[in-house]
Structure 1
Amino acid sequence: MRRLLLLIPLLLAGFIATSAQELRGIVHDEAGLPLPYATIKVKSIDGGNVITGGVTREDGSFSLQIANQKLPLLLEASLIGFAPKEIKCESFTSYKIALKESALQLEEVSVTANRIVHRMVAGGISTSIEASPLANLSDVYSVLRGVPLVEIEGTEVRVAGKGTPIIYINDRLMTDPNQLRNLKPYLIRDIEVLTNPGARYSSSTESVIKIYTKREQGSGLSSEAKVGLFNQLGSPIGYQPYLHFNYRLDNWDFFLSAMYQDNQTNHSFPSLRTHGKTDKSEWINQSTTKHIEGEQTQEYTIGINYEDELQSMGFRYRIAGTREDSWMYSDLTSHHIVPLPEAEERFRTKSQTFKPWNLSHRPNLYYLRKLGEWKAQIDVDYYQTSMSHSTETIHEGEGAGNEYNLPIKINEHGAKYQSAGARLDFSGPLWGGRLEIGGEYTRVHNKFYNHLEKSLNLTNLDTEQREQLLALYLEYQREIASEWSLTAGLRMEHLQNKYIDKGIVDPNKSHTTTNLFPTLALTGRLLGVRTELSFRSRIHRPSYIQLQPQYLVVSRYEYKVGDPNLKDAIDYSTSLTLNKSWFTTILSHTYSRDCLTPETGLFIDPNTGEASPYITLFKTVNAPPHHGLTAAMVASPTIKWWKPTFTLRLSKMIGYDLWHFEERITKRRATLALSVANQFTLPKEISLVFNIGYTPFGNEDNMEFTAPILTSYAEISKQWLKEKNLLTTLSVSNLFNTTHSVRTATRHSVMESTEYVPPRIAFTISYRFNSSKDKYRGTGALESVIDRM
């Protein structure tokens, strides 16, 4: 490792030296602020012929190879809203080009203000916000709803077919949802949606959203105060106050924030039917279940940051606490078919799980340094929770009476998470392209315990989990022809996992793996259509609790358990993306190996090793290898003050066969998903959102949708005061009392369930004072670890 660190400066020196035969520099405005995406052209002195060209990067810098051309040459920079400028280049030095605002060019902006410009980027698509109607919306979630492939449910962000993304704001990893909520739409410049992220991202990352904003000037004190009220039908009103302060003094930022949330939700399963069989028995369990979950959360952050032209550094410390109190009510009827004679039992269960306040600590520091046109950054991260203690008290009643007349059962379980990590990244120009190289290292030490009532006759749990991960990555991007670019990357991850049972390492439940994850993206314009062909491999590791063989009691005849021998799931995905104006088509193929899938099965008694009748076991398994085909079409036109986004997605699994008892199911239906997202920009700073989604049929892994699924979301918001500092928002989700009905089949059991999701109403009011925000640029090094907790 020491040799590697000593080689890095030598490699950087070699890289920079090889980049000497090129024209490079930076484009900025009259105030000295960098201008990204400005057009750069290199022209001959005599006839003014264009030799080569490109655009500036996010920091306003550019570098253009000129092959065997001789100096002097002309360098021209232009950008909408600014007058173009031309300078004469007589040496290979770094040039600074200052552009002046142009009234004529600004008039052109107003003429094209109704256009939403998309362009292909490596791994995805970029949407220009600042010159589109989206910049006039009230909040960032309304803006994201207008971006192709992005799905918003309340404040939850998803990418169609790619799950929950990691989000970067100005190349800083978002670690606090409030960072997203605080963004002002009129300051957002571009939003990139990466459905095939490159090698620099964790191999478990399915999608990335990168948001770039214009810089807000300001100094002194700035703050934001926000209060949210929300209510799910049948639950008490929840609330969430939030305060953020930032004080800027020259190059320094001092910031702190505080958040508290008290929330209660409920969801129910009006029908849960399980049909099970063993060699000696057969039964049908029918139940209704209702869950009520109450959670209180508080979070406090304090930090300091310094930034100048060459470097940036900062330290941030966050402490958070969570308290939970949940109830579950179940009415279960078990019909015993075999052995004869047939019999029937009925059990009513009331259980309460209480988890007192549990604290987590997360200090983070970073250092970023510019090395000429190169940039280096190091992040150091630490995360630790106290040992949580959850007490589950179960009351049961037998028969049709209302009394709970069976002995009370008390179960206890808890977990402690601890991890540390470091990340090192380098990026800069190389051979006419751009190179990113780096690595990360994390260590994990988690502890778990599970003590069950003796009458259940189940094994207690007292385990530890130690994990080390070393990851190295390399990614290179370069233009290979006019309007075409190639991005290629490779990521290596070496994972060592030790399972420790009562202080002794269990080699049968420990494992060491090394995986390589290549990425490739070819992006350009074909017959006037923006085109990208990409390939990416991805890993999805089980959560830490899924790797623990601890039994959780759901009801008298329903248990849940983890498995330390679960394998990591790996996908290999190839995608073709075509974009023309406001219409986008995506075609993809995915090969999945060891996909993590929830499943029902027989309960094997750990004491006898035999299948127990009448009991359903909920667990996660590794699915057999299979293929997936997906076609998605997205249309996002702008019609005056209305901006709709229509999405149609059709997906089909191939080779994912199921067993319905003795019958093998090989022909499974495709999944069809339709959605319409509507944005309305109304007078008096009012915006309206109405989204609706419909899935009439389909299969997802081992689940079959047995009834159509309808989702909905509506929102109205208004900006107040002269500077639009005050914002009010009212939203309603699940307007139509959503129900989800699915069937899961295996060789030994078939489960059919219907879940009811009640409507949820939320009202938020926020006020911002001043405009300066902290410039903390730490990305952290533990996100992939914390996501598994």
Structure 2
Amino acid sequence: MRRLFLLISLLMMVGSLDVSALDLRVVVYDEAGEPIPYATIKVKSIDGSKVLTGGVTRDDGSFTLQIEQHQLPVLLEASLIGFTPKEVRCESSTDYKIILQESALELAELSVTASRITHRMVAGGISTSIEASPLANLSDVYSVLRGVPLVEIEGTEVRVAGKGTPIIYINDRLMTDPNQLRNLKPYLIRDIEVLTNPGARYSSSAESVIKIYTKREQGTGLSGEVKLDLNNQISSPMGYQPYLRLNYRLNNWDFFTSVMYKDEQTNHSFPSLRTHGKTDQSEWINQSTTKHKEGVQTQEYTIGVNYEDEVQSAGFRYRIAADKEDSWMFSDLTSNHLRPTPEAVERYFGKSQTLKPWNASHRPNLYYLRRFGDWKAQIDLDYFQTGMSHSTERAAEGHTEAYELSGVENSHGAKYQSAGGRLDISGPLWGGRLEMGGEYTKVHNRFYNHLDASLSLTDLDTEQREQLLALYLEYQRKIASEWSATAGLRMEHLENKYIDKGVLDPDKSHTTTNLFPTLAVSGRLWGVRTELSFRSRINRPSYVQLQPQYLYVSRYEYKVGDPNLKDAIDYSTSLTLSKSWLTTILSHIYSRDCLTPETALFTDPTTGVVRPYITLYKTVNAPPHHALSAAIVASPTIKWWKPTFTLRLSKMIGYDLWNFEERITNRKPTLALSVANQLTLPGEISMVFNVGYTPFGNEDNMEFTAPILTSYAEISKQWLKEKNLLTTLSISNLFNTTHSVRTATRYSVMESTEHVPPRIAFTISYRFNSSKDKYQGTGALESVIDRMNAGHD
């Protein structure tokens, strides 16, 4: 923390040395006296031959430009498509007012070329303007997101650098279906905000938020989209995903439906997995090669109706989904028992198959939104339920691939049920904006686990009942002409009851109350857009991680959960500096009870005796520690080429490890480099080529023992007169990505190498008409459903 404040002080000292700089404030209006946002301002030499600096006006039509004192006098030029450019002579430091007149030229006769992408500070993060930029000409939303600072895309997975998977809002509506993101058309996207320190209105578990704002599409009658995704991972069967969306608009009503089916197979291979274990009585080395194949089938159906007029909006949506999974694992294991007496190295061949038949989930959602002048209030009611899933695993082993040794059969399953409600109220107050509300969720989950009798482990039959009450309050307002502040507070009260075979277990139940403050101050400091923010957040274990069920992996490997896991809490402080196309982010995070995977010895739950030669995979709460990070993002525009360069350096402090008897206190930092390239070519063709490189680093208790290289390439084209037809060809992991990591504890050291083969995908989509449903329900169970889906790997 001292280093961070020292760095801030140095930055302020550097800024204060620029005594010869002059700030010129310009406000641009139209003939009616209305401010003109996004007008281009240029400062030119008095003869007009040289442009000294420039910028773009803000929403209030103002912009502050910085030049050197000795350059006076200069010319100020304001221009915007649809208006006649105008120049003003500037001889001193004062405020200048420029009035633009509408041009007599028709916009349709003009050829508009986007030349730069603008960024601005918002509370908790950065906003990128997409419209009238090269990004608006790309083929799909994922290509657009790849060009936004701090956003990382792998296939269709969206992440924020250093902040994990974000919560996504589209026009201030929480995204509850990934198809909502896929269906966005780049030319309709206005702005994308990336919040690395979200405010109090967001869930305390939200580490980052992406907010996408679009221009409204008009139209009535029938509209829709049909899409087909084909993908193939090397040595895997072809996967496919057809999708159909229809919407019928009649006056203020929308009637909508969608259908999606997905069939995909993936391969994962671990060329090397080596575990060195040691206790007072024994020592061993297990080394294996593993191949894993997984097939997933998913189908999803949605129907809904929505009504909207000038003062209110209401709607109902019902979604039913079902999934089916089959997986196969083949391993070649050698086990070397070193103590108490050396034994001959044993070799085992193993195969296992896990079958999970179709299981359906139901999710109805109802909302009502009402506007009261400048204020609005919205209530959401949400429900989610699955059937009891049943996964059956059959495993066989042998010293040869005839698998002559006896096999085992295990089964496990879970049923999830939850209901919730949410209220949000927002509007202007005392010159600022107030947002407040709350939510309530109730959860009732059931789990069972039955292991083969030969494993001598207890079965599981548990219930988990949970109630969460959350209240939040957030206020934002300007505190000076160019500064604003946002402050918020969120309270969450959680009651969790653990029931074992119908009996409440008070030792494994808990009640917690947490407060999560947020604060952000942003503005312009010596010509640099600046924001200082603070936020606290929580990361709760998944429901599976809280179950003490043993899952069989192989003869020498098991997984287990822990009902006594604590919630992880982070306290994050960030400083963001941005000027033109260059952004710098400095941050400090204090983590308490961080959830991290770990290897451990296997203690028999009935006898309490350590079973030798077996590795146990589990999740634990790490000791408190700090993390410092710095990121530099450069996003210039060079004609039709729009690159984004990102350099990120981070280091954990206080996260010590034990490598058997050796304590490791000074962990290496993590360095991550990436280049995202967007190319807009003639003929409605766009190209993407992204590369990421991590030469070294540590993440929690894992150390990267070899450099990691990731890649993604894409080419797309829009067809037909209205650009209704889109084709995209992409390839990920072009260079055969390999991940090599080491995990060390007091009793074991595990080294693993995973190979991720390339995946090729082809997408063809056709849309007709342009109107979409105006459903604005956000749901109230997103954080609960995330905890249901996590922890199954």
Q: CA deviation at 1:113?
A: 2.5
Looking at structure 1, the residues matched to 686 and 188 of structure 2 have their Cα atoms a distance apart, in angstroms, of 17
Q: CA deviation at 1:402?
A: 2.3
Q: Aligned residue for 2:701? A: 702
Q: Aligned residue for 2:722? A: 723
Looking at structure 2, the residues matched to 379 and 81 of structure 1 have their Cα atoms a distance apart, in angstroms, of 42
Q: Aligned residue for 1:649? A: 648
Q: Aligned residue for 2:247? A: 246
One-letter amino acid matched to 2:177? D
Q: Aligned residue for 2:153? A: 152
Q: CA deviation at 1:141?
A: 1.0
One-letter amino acid matched to 2:589? T
Q: Aligned residue for 2:733? A: 734
Q: Aligned residue for 1:575? A: 574
Q: For residues 353-398 of structure 1, what are the alpha-carbon distances to aligned partners after superposition, in whole Å with 9 as ceiling and x for unaligned?
A: 000000000000100000111000000000000000000011111x
One-letter amino acid matched to 1:262? D
* Contact 1:125–1:193 (8 Å) recurs in 2: yes
SS in 2 for 1:419: strand
Looking at structure 2, the residues matched to 199 and 680 of structure 1 have their Cα atoms a distance apart, in angstroms, of 38
* Contact 1:337–1:343 (8 Å) recurs in 2: no
Give the number of aligned pairs: 710
Distance 1:403 1:223, change over 3 A: same
Distance 1:131 1:607, change over 3 A: same
1:593-742 mapped onto 2 (5 Å cutoff): 593-742=592-741
Q: For residues 285-334 of structure 1, what are the alpha-carbon distances to aligned partners after superposition, in whole Å with 9 as ceiling and x for unaligned?
A: 00111110000000000000000000000000000000000001111111
Q: Does residue 387 of the first structure (1) align with residue 420 of the second (2)? A: no
Q: CA deviation at 1:279?
A: 1.3
1:343-354 mapped onto 2 (5 Å cutoff): 343-354=344-355
Looking at structure 2, the residues matched to 103 and 511 of structure 1 have their Cα atoms a distance apart, in angstroms, of 71
Looking at structure 2, the residues matched to 309 and 56 of structure 1 have their Cα atoms a distance apart, in angstroms, of 26
Q: Aligned residue for 1:177? A: 178
Q: Aligned residue for 2:510? A: 511
SS in 1 for 2:545: helix
SS in 1 for 2:583: strand
Sequence identity percentage: 82
Q: CA deviation at 1:162?
A: 0.6
SS in 2 for 1:141: helix
Looking at structure 2, the residues matched to 571 and 537 of structure 1 have their Cα atoms a distance apart, in angstroms, of 5
One-letter amino acid matched to 1:686? I
Distance 1:341 1:157, change over 3 A: closer
SS in 1 for 2:787: coil
Q: Does residue 365 of the first structure (1) align with residue 366 of the second (2)? A: yes
Distance 1:502 1:263, change over 3 A: same
Q: CA deviation at 1:237?
A: 0.2
* Contact 1:81–1:105 (8 Å) recurs in 2: no
Distance 1:36 1:595, change over 3 A: farther
Looking at structure 2, the residues matched to 322 and 102 of structure 1 have their Cα atoms a distance apart, in angstroms, of 58
Distance 1:360 1:100, change over 3 A: farther
1:132-147 mapped onto 2 (5 Å cutoff): 132-147=133-148
Distance 1:562 1:102, change over 3 A: farther
Q: CA deviation at 1:344?
A: 2.4
Q: For residues 104-135 of structure 1, what are the alpha-carbon distances to aligned partners after superposition, in whole Å with 9 as ceiling and x for unaligned?
A: 79699967731211110000010111121111
Looking at structure 1, the residues matched to 532 and 314 of structure 2 have their Cα atoms a distance apart, in angstroms, of 38
Q: For residues 210-229 of structure 1, what are the alpha-carbon distances to aligned partners after superposition, in whole Å with 9 as ceiling and x for unaligned?
A: 11111111000001000010
One-letter amino acid matched to 1:266? N
Q: Does residue 225 of the first structure (1) align with residue 223 of the second (2)? A: no
Looking at structure 1, the residues matched to 551 and 105 of structure 2 have their Cα atoms a distance apart, in angstroms, of 69
1:60-459 mapped onto 2 (5 Å cutoff): 113-397=114-398, 399=399, 401-459=400-458
Q: CA deviation at 1:182?
A: 1.0
Q: Does residue 537 of the first structure (1) align with residue 499 of the second (2)? A: no
SS in 2 for 1:547: coil
SS in 1 for 2:507: helix
Distance 1:189 1:614, change over 3 A: same
SS in 1 for 2:784: helix
* Contact 1:81–1:101 (8 Å) recurs in 2: no
1:441-590 mapped onto 2 (5 Å cutoff): 441-590=440-589
SS in 2 for 1:788: helix
* Contact 1:676–1:692 (8 Å) recurs in 2: yes
Distance 1:81 1:428, change over 3 A: farther
* Contact 1:635–1:647 (8 Å) recurs in 2: yes
Q: Aligned residue for 1:749? A: 748
Where in structure 1 are there 5+ consecutive unaligned residues?
A: 1-26, 40-52, 58-77, 85-98
Q: Aligned residue for 1:766? A: 765
Looking at structure 2, the residues matched to 370 and 101 of structure 1 have their Cα atoms a distance apart, in angstroms, of 34
Distance 1:599 1:108, change over 3 A: farther
Distance 1:673 1:238, change over 3 A: same
* Contact 1:730–1:761 (8 Å) recurs in 2: yes
User: Which moves more between the two structures, 102-111 or 521-530?
Assistant: 102-111
One-letter amino acid matched to 2:162? G
* Contact 1:384–1:419 (8 Å) recurs in 2: yes
Where do 4+ consecutive residues of structure 1 move more than 6 Å? 34-39, 107-112
Looking at structure 2, the residues matched to 100 and 662 of structure 1 have their Cα atoms a distance apart, in angstroms, of 77
Looking at structure 2, the residues matched to 427 and 102 of structure 1 have their Cα atoms a distance apart, in angstroms, of 39
* Contact 1:529–1:580 (8 Å) recurs in 2: yes
Q: Aligned residue for 1:45? A: none
Q: CA deviation at 1:35?
A: 12
Q: Aligned residue for 1:64? A: none
Q: CA deviation at 1:148?
A: 0.7
Q: Aligned residue for 1:16? A: none
Q: Aligned residue for 1:91? A: none
Looking at structure 2, the residues matched to 101 and 788 of structure 1 have their Cα atoms a distance apart, in angstroms, of 55
Looking at structure 2, the residues matched to 79 and 464 of structure 1 have their Cα atoms a distance apart, in angstroms, of 66
Q: CA deviation at 1:83?
A: 7.1
One-letter amino acid matched to 1:427? S
Distance 1:181 1:457, change over 3 A: same
Distance 1:38 1:492, change over 3 A: farther
Where in structure 2 are there 5+ consecutive unaligned residues?
A: 1-28, 40-56, 62-77, 85-99, 789-793
SS in 2 for 1:784: helix
**TM-score, normalization: structure 1?**
0.88
Q: CA deviation at 1:102?
A: 5.7
